[in-house]
Amino acid sequence: MKKVITYGTYDLLHQGHINLLQRAKALGDYLIVGVTNDNFDRERGKLNVVNNVLERVDAVKATGLADKIIIEDYFGQKIDDIQRYGADIFAIGSDWEGKFDYLNEYCQVVYLPRTEGISSTQLREKKQKRIRIGIAGCGLIARRFVPESRFVNGIEIAGVYDIDSTTGSTFAASHSIAKSYPSLDAMLHDTDAIYISTPHLSHYEYSRRALEAGKHVLCEIPLALEKAQAEELYALANSKGLTLMEAHKTAHCPAFNHLMAMIKSGAIGEVVDIEASLSRLLPDRSRREFDPTQAGGSMYESAVYPLLPIFKLLGTCYNTLHIYSRMENGVDIYTKGVMHYPKAICSFKIGLGVKTEGNLVISGTKGYAYVQAPWWKTDYFELRYEDLNQNKKYFYKWDGEGLRYEIHEWISCIINKRSSNARLSQDESIAMAGVMQQFTERRNFTEI
């Protein structure tokens, strides 16, 4: 039996893809098709892929041409796969002429003629209308958002709005943005989607106004400080067929998602304990983060980060949450939360005026996962076991500020008409708002 192996992204599967698969199939008796996974695409800078890996695998399967479909996860995998599956021929499109000659050491390399006049890039350009984004709030995060957005295709920063018009004008000029709007409503009128990076207390109101105006929303953390407000916003987005996302960059970090997938698949057994911590020492107490009238404090500023791995791995239905805080001038400079689940215990520590080790430890019945600080920008983690010979280390690339990952997911959801995404589900986002509300109401709360 002569085995043929080929690879591709197969985004927006089209006749050109089918022709290539047919030509590859004709070279032998058995065709193996490798489909790139989402993380691998991001690592290669392909942030404009429309279909996720499951959709692309289903599309290839539907052609009936592949005898076996595999997922391409890493550089160098082609050599491993050729040897693992005993491939006789490696086939690839002629636009890669010469790039895979090194594989001749392992099998025959054949460059197949491509179909002229059609490509995924062309289809994406036809499928995607350019999404005009407005930025509400011109602070520090917005200054990171603009350069990160340039790594995602199909979008345009159409304008900005800031409650301080001078700040808005200066921001627009410094980032080559065409327009600074005098009001939020004026910007909503001219745009398709809104990125909200204003202070915490305006997130709910601005998100609601944008959704009511029929605009997609990416809102900085926290989306809301009350559970009912978060529920209302998601219900409104769902009813209007709009995409509402909380801008949680860790939720879209490739390495973090790989870690979650490995643990859910049983890599360390049953999870029985999660400890997540992060802290910053901010000496300037005049900052917004220390102002109780502007929702300052550790909980409102940072709790969504340690809550993410807890909710991802154990769900949102915990039995109890006890909160312990060190308060100064009306804000918590340090907070520890202890959560009890039916078969697990979790704790998180966050601080703005107290320094703590910022790691993530997930303990299981077979081993544990360790992610060093800053784990919320995961680029490395370890799985550790009783037998040290089984320990494994995993390294990943973290590009730029990391915002490009969440922007890409937001735009992908908009294009594919998805109201939310699995990396941070609506239920998880709502549960985070519920924790904020419990802290506000001082339920199960102890001041230390």
**pLDDT digits over 361-419, tens only?**
999 999 999 999 999 998 899 999 999 999 999 988 788 888 998 998 898 889 878 88
**pLDDT (0 to 100) of residue 91:** 96
Which DSSP string do the residues of 230-281 spell out, in sequence order?
A: HHHHHHHHHHHT--EEEE-GGGG-HHHHHHHHHHHTTTTSSEEEEEEEEE--
Cα 427 off chain centre by: 16
444 and 234 in contact (C-beta within 8 Å)?
no
Q: How far is CA 358 from the centre of its chain?
A: 21
Q: How far is CA 11 from CA 51, 63, 101, 128, 294, in A?
A: 6, 14, 25, 13, 44
Which is more confident, 420 or 65?
65
* CB within 8 Å of 435: residues ≥ 6 apart: 299, 303, 307, 321, 337
pLDDT of 371 reads: 97
Q: What is the pLDDT of residues 305-341, one digit of tens each?
A: 999 999 999 999 999 999 999 999 999 999 999 999 9
Q: Which of the two residues, 285 and 370, has the higher pLDDT score?
A: 370
User: CA of 210: how far to CAs of 1, 203, 213, 242, in Å?
Assistant: 59, 11, 5, 10
Q: At the topology level of CATH, where does 254-397 sit?
A: Dihydrodipicolinate Reductase; domain 2 (3.30.360)
- Tokens representing residue 223 in the block: 């989306």
Assigned CATH for 123-248? 3.40.50.720
pLDDT, averaged across the chain: 92
Coil, strand or helix at 4: strand
**Paired sense of beta strands 216-220 and 193-196, if any:** parallel
% pLDDT > 70, the chain: 94
Sheet hosting strand 360-364, strand order edge to edge: 392-395, 380-384, 368-371, 360-364, 271-279, 344-351, 331-341, 320-328, 445-447
Q: Residue 56: pLDDT band by 50, 70, 90 thresholds?
A: confident
Q: What is the pLDDT of residue 171?
A: 97
What are the boundaries of each domain within the chain? 3-116, 123-248, 254-397
CATH 3.90.180.10 fits 3-116, yes or no: no
User: Nearest Cα to 21, choosing from 11, 2, 37, 8?
Assistant: 8
H or E stretch including 217?
A: strand 216-220
Q: What is the pTM assigned to this prediction?
A: 0.80
Asked, colleague to colleague, whether 3-116 and 123-248 share their fold, the answer is yes
How far apart, in whole angstroms, are the C-alpha atoms of residue 61 and residue 55?
10
pLDDT for the residue numbered 126: 57
Which residue in the block uniquely carries the two structure tokens 């089984």? 390
CB 383, CB 268: distance < 8 Å: yes
Candidate from 51-65, 78-92, 286-300 with smallest mean pLDDT: 51-65
